[in-house]
Amino acid sequence: MKQIVWLLIIALVGAIAWGAWYALRRYRERRQAAEARMAGFLAELRGSAAAPAARGTATPAPVPVAAPEDVSSLAQQKLLFEAAAKAGDAGEPALSIQLYARLLARYPACSFAEPARAAVEAQTRKLANG
């Protein structure tokens, strides 16, 4: 009887250890995937700035590429934009307008400025209608 109890205890400890190992592995995979998405997003932004010049078309002014210190501000811009969009989708036009306004106040010339201005107009119409 004692042997069965000890076997159950060992099996339980093994199951807990395996579960912790599995959860940690999945967490690391998710974090790496998120970092890869962010790196791809930044590379896409940097690549889109260089793409017109590579095709031979003249650009009116050089598009600034995000410096390493601007990466955090780009992440902040993206977070504000996504949060405002989600607030708008959730039926909170006032909160959405506030978040877009914060984005535009902090980063008036960012790449999210034009879509943010268009979304503010749409949310203002939504707020006025109902």
Q: Which two tokens stand for residue 119?
A: 């979304």
Please name which of 49, 31, 28, 27 lies closest in space to residue 39, comparing C-alpha atoms: 31
What is the model's pLDDT at position 25? 96
User: pLDDT tens, 17-73?
Assistant: 999 999 999 999 999 999 988 888 888 877 765 544 444 554 454 444 445 446 778
Whether 99 has a pLDDT exceeding 80, the answer reads yes
Q: 28 or 126, which is more confident?
A: 28
Q: What share of the chain is helix, strand, coil (3-state, %, to 5)?
A: 80, 0, 20
Report d(CA 46, CA 23) in Å as an integer.
34
- Residue 102 carries which side chain, given as an amino acid letter? R
Q: For residue 66, give the amino acid letter.
A: A
Closest CA to 74 of 94, 46, 33: 46
